[in-house]
Structure 1
Amino acid sequence: MASADAPPPGGAAQRVIAIHPAAPTKPAWGQPCNGCGVCCLQEPCPVGALLSHKRHGACDALRWSEADARYHCGLLSQPREVLPRWLRPLAAPISRAARRWIAAGIGCDCDTEVIGQA
């Protein structure tokens, strides 16, 4: 019998992340981003790691939108809210650069398999 810490058959480790119940189902690899949040809830991208000061766990820049029923990158949607005070004067150019850095609009690049999401 495998221990609770051992990876399941096939070698992939399992982690639990909290996803908003109204979040859309994760799209397949390469499909357009729909704001499911899975990628940013499991770990921040390199830009998010700089903002969050961590490499594991949910990105601090991730924002839930009740109106859109989806997640948004705060660096793109609310840069003044997520940037440190000293960088806020540069919010517009940083946000434009971040769109390219995180490949916004290119397609889902998260290969995580979601279990239990409706």
Structure 2
Amino acid sequence: MPEPAAARLIAIHPAAPPKPAWGQSCNGCGVCCLQEPCPVGALLSLRRHGACDALRWSDAAGRYHCGLLSQPADVLPRALRPLSGWLSRRAHRWIAAGIGCDCDSVVEVEVEDQD
């Protein structure tokens, strides 16, 4: 029997929607990208662990978005910014946008004491 994954603490925006069940539509909870970047995010963040640098919170939408989709010029290195439109269109497929939640993490909410 495989060992359960070690518990990790990630900071999630308090207004973020709850994580959907595996396979359900993405709702922008951000859990997957806050844990570790996808392969495209790893290239942008220059790391394989920790929160993806391309992840963006939207107050207006009340959810997280991939910056490569919503704000490509803000997350791409200067040399790639002229290709931001082309890269953003392809990123939908690269990150499997719209396919459904593929994060099987279990989320436990901890509320900080207000004392």
**TM > 0.5:** yes
Counterparts of 1:59 and 1:93, CA distance in 2: 21
Taking only the aligned residue pairs, the percentage that are identical comes to 76
1:49 equivalent to 2:42? Answer yes
Provide structure 2 residue ranges, at least 5 long, that are not aligned to the other structure. none
Q: Is the contact made by 1:80 and 1:88 (CA closer than 8 Å) also made in structure 2?
A: yes
Show CA shifts across 1:33-68 (max 9, x none).
000000000000000000000100000000000000
Q: Specify which of 16, 20, 40 is matched with residue 23 of structure 1.
A: 16
- How many angstroms does 1:11 deviate by? 2.8
1:70 equivalent to 2:63? Answer yes
Give the alignment's TM-score, normalised by structure 1. 0.89
Partner of 1:91: 84
Give the alignment's TM-score, normalised by structure 2. 0.91
Q: Is the contact made by 1:25 and 1:117 (CA closer than 8 Å) also made in structure 2?
A: no
Partner of 1:79: 72
Provide structure 1 residue ranges, at least 5 long, that are not aligned to the other structure. 1-9
Counterparts of 2:61 and 2:110, CA distance in 1: 19
Counterparts of 1:77 and 1:66, CA distance in 2: 13
Q: Across the two proteins, how many residue pairs are aligned to each other?
A: 109
Partner of 1:5: none
